Structure 1
Amino acid sequence: MAMTEGPELPPSFPETGPTMESDDYIVYHGEDTLAIYSNRNQGVSLDDKLNFTEKTLMIYAETVFLNSKVIGIEGKNLGIFCNKLVLSLDEACIDVSGAKGANGTPTSNKAEKGGNGGTVWLYIEEPTPNLCKNLRIKAYGGDGGHGAEDKPQGGDGGDGGLCGVIKCYIGSAVRRYAERLHSVTTSQKSNWPGWIRDISPSICDDMDALVSSGFNEGTANSWKSTVASAAGLLDAAEKLQGALGRLISDDPDRATPSQETFDAIQRLLASLGKMVKDENGLGLPSEQDVASLVQLTENCNSFYGGSVVEKKLQSGLEDALNTVAALTPTTPGVSPLLNGLDYFSATLYSFIDNEARGFIDQVAVLGGGKGGPGGNGPTPDIPSGKRGVDQSDNIADAQLVSLSGNKTDRSIDQAIVSPEQCQMILDAADNIYFTDDRNQFLQAMSMYTRLTRRLGFLDVLSDNKEEEGSVPLAKALQTLESEYKLTVAPVSQLDGIYQAARRRLNSIVLNQDLWGHSDTWVPRLSLAYYGDRTKAMIESFKDLEATFHEYSKEEQKERLTESQIKQAQLSNTAMMQAARDDMESISRQGGELEVAADKITLCRPLMAAAREQLSVSLDEFREKMQNHFSVSADTLMDALSTLSMAPEGFTAIVLAADVIHKSWSKIEDDQGNLINKAYVVKQIRACQGSFASLAKTYEDLDAGELQVDDPGFSKIFTTADNLKKILDEFEEQVPADKVRTKLDAYLEVVQKRNAAVINYNGLIQSYLQLQRVIQSCKEESQQLGEQALQLNPSLPAIYFWLKRLRGQTRLQILRELNNQARALSFWGPMPVNSVSFLPPSPTTGYIELQSNHDMLIDLFESSYEGFQSGGWSSWPADGTFSGEGISVPLSQDVLDNLKRERGGQAAGTHDSESLLTITPESHTDFLDMANVRLTQVRVWLLGATIGSAQVSDGDTPRRALRVEITHCGDDTIWDPDGSPCRFRHGPVTMQFSYETTLFNASGGERSGRPGLVYSRQDIEHDYAGGSSHPGATDKPPIGPFGDWKLEIRKGVNPGLDLQSVTAGWIEFCGRNQLAKSPLREVEG
């Protein structure tokens, strides 16, 4: 097809490099290739004046506008890779057809060959409706020229040009729904209530999305009606089961039906139970079927006796039996619901195939060029020239893709993403996230989610490095470097971006800070521990910042020196070390992973005890609960044990949880020594604000071989508002205050345990992602450094590499500063977030970081002065701890737990244990104390005996009881103004041993006098002021307010007998300041 020649047009896109002031739009010339990267709201616009000198134009942008009806670029290649393609004039044609060959002339022997058709690659994540009807892409080969006619014989015609290439990859809501439906129903096809509950809440939105994508509205409405009817029947059936159960209960406030009615109810209950559990599926209920069950439920609830009313009830029961029987298939393969599912699934995939073919048939117009005719001779008897060769036609390729990270994505054979444009999106999201304004987190979350979905194929790109070279998408990404010379190490760069987005998303969902720390975590360290490391890091950053500033100046890009690159590579090495430090922080002894694991372990016995107490308190209400909630009290307790709290304000929590949960289920085998796989959550779901929703969600979980109290059992997320609704509904049916108290206690420990489980899983994800960050850094440092020196220092990838190094180095310094601020908050005490250092804007750097560091030093001086100041009271008053401190009696529950031996364990293990929580209300002396810090902790059990002497001290046998005491790590310390400061640090375990014979003989007289006490704990050496500043090994003292675990090992206490224990105390020695105001309650 011929193109109309016109005047020479100026280049549409002059080269535009990235600068510090503007790096969200770049135009770069590669190897005969022009690349445009954009993350601007106005996107990239193409019109009929499009002109560029290179063979290929590649556009990576969120939005691309086609602003003319015809956009022609003869024989060139055009790649458009976008989220949305907008046809500004409602229709557009992209024409890359080759030019017609020139006709023969008297001076040439043959006409010219037609130009080859170009190539169009089109990738659209969210296509607009009717795109097939309004967009055309032409890629004809040019026809050959006409042979000359004024030669001794006619000239030969020119050969036709080669056919062009058209490849389209279109995001499809239909394919996404089809794959989701397949996944949900395949995993639980025999459990139709399970998948109906999964897909019914969003069925209207899902079908609207299908229809807007061109799917047949009638078919979509039919499936929506089927799902809605099945969901309505399921809801009606479950409510009817509850009403029938209440009707035949022994409730004295209800009328008792006759035996005939009673028998009919029993038959209907059995039929309903079979219907909702039938593996053969379900019939298709009508609105009348559902309405009849709803009406029967109302009749049951309002039944008050009497022959007329009962006869009407019996008629309704008989009708319901017939309805349920008709809706319950008796043989496999005849279920209208399952058959409807199969038909609808087949229709979805047929639509997908038809859409792909339609794209080929309607959008793609291409063909080989036709050979030109030979020229006629001067006279009829002189032979004409030969006709040129016709070229064969190509077939366009179109695929509808789901972008869900499946292996099918690997078949895409074009580089649909670029690291440069993805980095722009990550930077934009980070700029929002780094403000630390949670009101804006949803916007950042949306960008991170888009990136994690777009780059999800990286998880399945290859099973190993050797295979990567044979995967079409991996090979296509490599062409960005090898063929087009647009970037370096594209897969490594993309993977680094992908992991960063996932880590940020993970942190938002788990309510962590930028570095993956929970909101109250603190290291129990002094500023001296960090030494001069931070100062050296800031000085190194100063050099890197200078390198980046010089490089960012447009005129300096060609003069990047070897020393500057080496400085950058040193920073890259530092970034890898920072990632290793982060991994060490997570995995080291006393690190966050161990803290979370210990919390899980510590909560298990407390959770078991709380459940047992709740179970006993529910005994008199079990039948009422079964009748109202249609599930047993034990099932409700099981369901409650799975609850985890979602961060406030995030209505999209399930979506985000699904995103992060993908990595939780992919823990490599070689991590077995680090990770306790028993704590890895298998599923995440969400429930609404009712017991019915909680129970249904719980019943649909895939338990596998796990027990519900196993930490790795699936978790159900809910919000505080929904939990309140659940508890209010519970209280309506079980109004006893005693039960609610036990329920609240049970939920408190459940939420502590499950929060630790979710945090543990999030830390695992961070650890695994950091491994991949290190690998990406290794590859980038070598390859990008080499490119900067040897090939092309103006490569955008070099700019973004240096920018990433600058940003990551700065973040690492900020992480160090924030860790120090967290440490100092525990010294203060002050709230953890009272001093934090937010990532500075791109225009600030070294000076601000140095200022932050100076601020920390001043803060540490202030804390030191606080420890040195007067106003401290110590208890006991003498420095030898020989007197009695503050003793808190142990509750009977704690004593009973200690008496309860845990059989079947080897000697030396924890044979008995109990947990307790200490608050200021635990002892009146605490009520006006601030900044309480401990120096000794003792546990006394009156009546505990040891069977034989362990050693002899002169003529006196020793019968010492040794108790292990663990501060679980959650610490609340009130400042002098009465404000509580919450902290979470590593558990602190200590031993205490005392002489049982003397203690029992004294009737429980507690003191630290020699002969009675055999051990003193090292916590007395925690920093408590003095003539010198805290050193590198000094730690701030812990406080008493939090959870404590008491353990008594039978193996180290021979002849131990706790059955005669009548009382017990936990005694604290320490010091405090005066609370100037009443102690305020802890929020949350």
Structure 2
Amino acid sequence: MTDSHASLLTSSLECFQAVTVEGTRLILSVDDALSLGKGSEIGDTYAGTTVCLFAESLLLNGTFACESAIISVNTLAPVNHAGLSTSGGRDVDVPGVNNDQNMPGKRGVDGRPGQQLAVYLEDTPDGMPAVALAAAGGDGGPGQRSLKTRGGDGGDGAAGGSVILLAGLVPLKLAGRLRGVVRLPTLEQQKQAIGNLLAMSWPDLTGLPGWNEALAGLKAATAATTRDDVVRLLTTAGVHLEGATTACRAAATAAIDVSGGAYGTYGPGAPPGHDGKKGPQGSKAVVVFGSPEELAGSDFPSFFLVHPSQCARLLEAIRLRYLVLDPVNDPQAVTDLSGLLSRLHDRTELFAGLRDGSPLARYYAERERRFGTVDAVAQLRHIHVQCTALLAQLHSGQDSYGYEPHTVPLGSFQFYKDTLDRMIGNFDDIERNYHAYFEKLVRNAASMDQIRNAREQNTATVAEARERLRLVQATIPGMAFIIAGYESVLPDLRARLDVKIAEFTDRLHAKFDFEFDHLVSALTTLAFAPESKFMMLMQAGGFLYQGTSTLADESGVEVKRDYLIREAKTVGGDIDALLEGYRSLDNGTYQPEDPGAGKLIAEETQFRNTFQRFKNSMGNELREVEEALTAYIEKIQERNNQILRYNAAIILAARDASTIKATEERSAALDERALATMDPGLPDLVSFVSRLYYASRDHIMRTLNLTARAYRFWALSDRNLIAEAYGDKGVSDIGHAALVHASNTILNAYGQAVEKFGTGSTPFPAKPRDQGLLLEIPDYQVEMFRECRNITVSPVLARAETDLEESLFARMSNVRVSRVRAWIKGARTRSNQLRVRITHTGPETIVGTNGSEFEFDHEPVVKNFMYDLASGRIFQDADFGIEPIRDPGSQTYAPVGPFATWQIEVEPSANPGVDLSGVTGVTLEFHGSSYAFHVGKE
């Protein structure tokens, strides 16, 4: 990542803020590296002041001293002899000699007690950092020397304070991973997981006792031949890691000074005074963990571990990093983003399951106002849900808006124009309020008026978000219906394949050096991704984030949990990689065909080429097996891709629903009674105004993104409208004016594409009442239809070189359909009328006039076709198209194409007395429009 957080966030106060709240100096930073101590802008001494610092990476130079402190950081890097100190000193000593013959020498001053120092260190990548932590009591001062009278007594040393260190240790993190490996059910999965662990970039902890021995044990386990050997080697490695942990804990404990102050010595005199008392030692606690959630079971004195405003600002910066992500040209950025999201996810996980009555929850509730926050624990819980959703998005290969690379909407030109005009108009006021607030905040002149304005503006933003959420939620049941349709036809296809495999077993064994059944099982788990998505998945760790089940409850819709994927991994583009990937899946009791079973994700073009070569290698002697394999695998892979789409929609719905909930709760918490007691510069209010601004801008940019995608669906163009719309502006420069320009650019291109489409296409058939193009369904599918009442049909893609024997759409480009009819020969019903449900399942390919192929993925389109079985008279046509294009604003949907998977179903509930036992044929009839090919021309 080359861009800093500061270059992404619009106001510098969002990146770094220092503010005093009730006498406490709060410092919040999301800078990549924050300097503290000697030579830094913050400084090294805050005498008499409590400092609470919440940051990411902290660079500590020398000793930073203050009255008391909370230091909460991800990592801490010391420079020179670095330390954090809340040690007590003492006031000015009494004068050295008492010359008053009538008064005894003065007593030495008492030391000042050490105060509390609480340090939360999430990660120690290089072992425990060499930082001294001190809360020692101040020394007592010497008694006054007296020439003629009694010498002064020495002052008392003060009590030591308390130091609490919570530190995340690499050895404990690795030990936790090893416990997970031990629980894996098969040797193959254990060795795969160990290999993945060894491939990770672990820090060089050679000097830590036991570390090298633990890694050696892991390497030895990769060659183990039994699960017992693996368990034995990993158990031994765990013992070594415990030794490394003990060494880290001992080093940390030794670096803590909570000693009581030394006593002050007596003052000489006649007679001499008495020595003071040594101060009692304070308390120290060192708690180490592998991941922050482990702290839920630890006993430690509560303190403000993490600040919700600092977490909210980091999440804002993460969202912006996600927005500018380019997985193809900058794959490392995906890895870095995944690391940042995981860090914030882990930081807030402790609070996700925190009981309301627990000591830590009570501490936050009682003291949050001192830290400039309201409903802190609730905020941290919402941030955790957002991180879970964003991680799931990233590891599913979706962009920052939650969309797949080929996603297109089916909204109209007028819909997007009206929506953008309204949203950009509202954003003008939001932006003015945002800039006014931060400009005044810099001058300490901000008022609660800007906060109240933001709260009121939030209402419109939530309303827009609710409408978007409704549209997303509405697609989920339809996706589940499509998946269920596949489940009814797959068993028959698998049975046909099994018959052929059994029939040709000897030839298959002679032909291939692997079990053919294993290949079939592996292929049943396969789904595809285009290059950009595949690169994102690879860089994000090569597996889908397993958080969809957690998010299901947040989505606001009824979820088919059988369709939630438990695991998915990327694989290379050859047969060996597929087989190896399949062996590594942890499917437990799942069968490969089960919808929720683990999935393997391959780059689509590469693997299709590999699979075609493999089928060709089977030759004529295995042609029947090849045909049965193709029929089965094509359908199950279509099903698998639908399952991925289903999971992606749930993630998006959960993210949007949790965002709305968090926004509404924040507005409710910041009611008039709360605002009356707050200062406009409090950290929470900064985050509140920021969130409204970025959320509103993101809503507009998301709509612009969809509008540009809709343009591509109409125009069949690779023109990068988004790049044209924003020009060379950085994300922090995109404001109201830039959004107006972007909207005009995209809408102008969109409108022209719609008009051009309406004037250049040729309809088929020439007359609406004539018969359209007919696609006869193969006999084996007709047989399946009689049993299942459901089939899926995928017309052969027509390219420029395709002839009529291959596709009924030969010589046609940019084919769009207006009507699709399903004629079921031999069907019978009680009313002699048949209602057929026809579904365009969403993913499709459209070939442009120059031969370019465009992949699209939109929501399913479902239509009913109803006709009289005796006369063929149509009562209800399945209209998938649009009226003749005259006014672009009148359109609801862009016309879909035929080169997709069509699901044809006869539902008994819609057809009383239906009998399909006599069906002898199924024919699809297409009406639509197309262009002639102009291959080689622009």
TM-score (norm 1): 0.74
Letter in 1 for 2:703: E
Give the 3 Å change call, closer, same or farther, for CA 50–801 of structure 1 in structure 2.
Answer: same
User: 8 Å contact 1:34–1:54 — kept in the other structure?
Assistant: no
Verify: 1:97 aligned to 2:93, yes or no: no
Output the CA distance in 2 between the equivalents of 1:1015 and 1:917: 26
The residue that corresponds to 1:4 in the other structure is: none
User: 8 Å contact 1:897–1:914 — kept in the other structure?
Assistant: no
Q: CA deviation at 1:543?
A: 1.1
The residue that corresponds to 2:288 in the other structure is: 400
Q: CA deviation at 1:454?
A: 3.5
Q: 1:969 aligns with which of 822, 842, 847?
A: 842
Q: Which runs of 5+ in 1 are unaligned?
A: 1-17, 235-275, 283-336, 903-910, 952-958, 998-1010
Q: CA deviation at 1:359?
A: 1.4
Q: 2:61 aligns with which of 67, 73, 84?
A: 67
* Equivalent position SS for 2:58: strand
User: 8 Å contact 2:815–2:930 — kept in the other structure?
Assistant: yes
Verify: 1:843 aligned to 2:729, yes or no: no
Q: Deviations over 1:513-546 (max 9, x none)?
A: 3321223333323233457443232222111111
Q: 2:340 aligns with which of 440, 450, 464?
A: 450
User: 8 Å contact 1:646–1:653 — kept in the other structure?
Assistant: no
Q: CA deviation at 1:131?
A: 4.5
Letter in 2 for 1:1045: Q
Give the 3 Å change call, closer, same or farther, for CA 173–626 of structure 1 in structure 2.
Answer: farther
User: 8 Å contact 2:530–2:603 — kept in the other structure?
Assistant: yes
Figure out how many residues of one structure are paired with residues of the other and give that number: 904
Q: CA deviation at 1:768?
A: 2.7
Output the CA distance in 2 between the equivalents of 1:213 and 1:1024: 76
Q: 1:818 aligns with which of 705, 726, 734?
A: 705
The residue that corresponds to 1:568 in the other structure is: 454
Letter in 2 for 1:967: H
The residue that corresponds to 2:784 in the other structure is: 897
Q: Deviations over 1:745-777 (max 9, x none)?
A: 544434332222223223323333333323322
User: 8 Å contact 2:260–2:279 — kept in the other structure?
Assistant: yes
Output the CA distance in 1 between the equivalents of 2:796 and 2:477: 23
The residue that corresponds to 1:878 in the other structure is: 767
Output the CA distance in 1 between the equivalents of 2:543 and 2:582: 21
Give the 3 Å change call, closer, same or farther, for CA 140–559 of structure 1 in structure 2.
Answer: closer
Q: 1:370 aligns with which of 262, 266, 269?
A: 262
The residue that corresponds to 1:81 in the other structure is: 72
* Equivalent position SS for 1:66: strand
* Equivalent position SS for 2:565: coil
Letter in 2 for 1:639: A
User: 8 Å contact 1:28–1:35 — kept in the other structure?
Assistant: yes
Output the CA distance in 1 between the equivalents of 2:374 and 2:914: 71
Output the CA distance in 1 between the equivalents of 2:507 and 2:441: 81
User: 8 Å contact 2:396–2:544 — kept in the other structure?
Assistant: no
Letter in 2 for 1:1035: Y
User: 8 Å contact 1:827–1:1036 — kept in the other structure?
Assistant: yes
Give the 3 Å change call, closer, same or farther, for CA 202–754 of structure 1 in structure 2.
Answer: same
Q: 1:913 aligns with which of 791, 815, 829?
A: 791
Give the 3 Å change call, closer, same or farther, for CA 214–409 of structure 1 in structure 2.
Answer: farther
The residue that corresponds to 1:113 in the other structure is: 110
* Equivalent position SS for 1:716: strand
User: 8 Å contact 2:139–2:263 — kept in the other structure?
Assistant: yes
Q: CA deviation at 1:914?
A: 4.2
Q: CA deviation at 1:976?
A: 4.3
Output the CA distance in 2 between the equivalents of 1:38 and 1:114: 34
The residue that corresponds to 1:1069 in the other structure is: 927
Letter in 2 for 1:1056: D
The residue that corresponds to 2:775 in the other structure is: 888
User: 8 Å contact 1:449–1:505 — kept in the other structure?
Assistant: no
Output the CA distance in 2 between the equivalents of 1:129 and 1:1034: 59
Q: Deviations over 1:355-385 (max 9, x none)?
A: 2133102x11221123434545524xxxx65
Q: Give the greater-gyration-radius structure (CA).
A: 1
Q: 2:858 aligns with which of 959, 965, 985?
A: 985
Q: 1:351 aligns with which of 214, 224, 244?
A: 244
Output the CA distance in 2 between the equivalents of 1:585 and 1:606: 29
Output the CA distance in 2 between the equivalents of 1:27 and 1:370: 36
The residue that corresponds to 1:805 in the other structure is: 692
**RMSD, matched Cα:** 4.0
Q: CA deviation at 1:990?
A: 3.2
Verify: 1:1038 aligned to 2:930, yes or no: no
Output the CA distance in 1 between the equivalents of 2:661 and 2:397: 27
* Equivalent position SS for 1:514: coil
TM-score (norm 2): 0.85
Output the CA distance in 2 between the equivalents of 1:706 and 1:995: 44
User: 8 Å contact 2:195–2:222 — kept in the other structure?
Assistant: yes
User: 8 Å contact 1:606–1:915 — kept in the other structure?
Assistant: no
The residue that corresponds to 2:915 in the other structure is: 1056
User: 8 Å contact 1:360–1:398 — kept in the other structure?
Assistant: yes
* Equivalent position SS for 2:547: helix
Q: CA deviation at 1:741?
A: 5.9
* Equivalent position SS for 1:969: strand
The residue that corresponds to 2:27 in the other structure is: 36
User: 8 Å contact 1:448–1:504 — kept in the other structure?
Assistant: no
Give the 3 Å change call, closer, same or farther, for CA 840–655 of structure 1 in structure 2.
Answer: closer
Output the CA distance in 2 between the equivalents of 1:802 and 1:629: 64
Letter in 1 for 2:767: D
Give the 3 Å change call, closer, same or farther, for CA 646–1045 of structure 1 in structure 2.
Answer: closer
User: 8 Å contact 1:462–1:471 — kept in the other structure?
Assistant: no
Q: 1:135 aligns with which of 131, 134, 139?
A: 131
Q: Deviations over 1:70-96 (max 9, x none)?
A: x263x623444333333333x434444
Verify: 1:680 aligned to 2:676, yes or no: no
Q: Which moved more, 1:963-972 or 1:663-672?
A: 663-672
The residue that corresponds to 1:252 in the other structure is: none
Give the 3 Å change call, closer, same or farther, for CA 407–195 of structure 1 in structure 2.
Answer: farther
Output the CA distance in 2 between the equivalents of 1:648 and 1:828: 22
Verify: 1:770 aligned to 2:676, yes or no: no
* Equivalent position SS for 1:170: strand
Q: Which moved more, 1:631-640 or 1:565-574?
A: 631-640
* Equivalent position SS for 1:965: strand
User: 8 Å contact 2:775–2:923 — kept in the other structure?
Assistant: yes
Give the 3 Å change call, closer, same or farther, for CA 142–598 of structure 1 in structure 2.
Answer: same
Q: Deviations over 1:600-638 (max 9, x none)?
A: 234435544554454455446545766998874334322
Verify: 1:1017 aligned to 2:895, yes or no: no
Q: Which moved more, 1:455-464 or 1:563-572?
A: 455-464
Q: CA deviation at 1:181?
A: 0.8
The residue that corresponds to 1:937 in the other structure is: 820
Q: CA deviation at 1:175?
A: 0.5
Verify: 1:528 aligned to 2:414, yes or no: yes
Output the CA distance in 2 between the equivalents of 1:88 and 1:137: 14
Q: 2:143 aligns with which of 147, 150, 153?
A: 147
Output the CA distance in 2 between the equivalents of 1:507 and 1:123: 29
The residue that corresponds to 1:168 in the other structure is: 165
User: 8 Å contact 1:513–1:519 — kept in the other structure?
Assistant: yes
Give the 3 Å change call, closer, same or farther, for CA 204–761 of structure 1 in structure 2.
Answer: closer
Output the CA distance in 2 between the equivalents of 1:996 and 1:766: 43
Give the 3 Å change call, closer, same or farther, for CA 609–64 of structure 1 in structure 2.
Answer: same
| Correspondence 1:203-218 to 2 at 5 A | 203=198, 209=203, 211-212=205-206, 214-216=208-210
Output the CA distance in 2 between the equivalents of 1:478 and 1:556: 29
* Equivalent position SS for 2:872: coil
The residue that corresponds to 2:3 in the other structure is: none
Q: Deviations over 1:42-95 (max 9, x none)?
A: 531422872234522333333333334xx263x623444333333333x43444
User: 8 Å contact 1:141–1:161 — kept in the other structure?
Assistant: yes
Letter in 2 for 1:398: V
The residue that corresponds to 1:927 in the other structure is: 810
Q: Which runs of 5+ in 2 are unaligned?
A: 1-8
User: 8 Å contact 1:99–1:115 — kept in the other structure?
Assistant: yes
Verify: 1:582 aligned to 2:465, yes or no: no
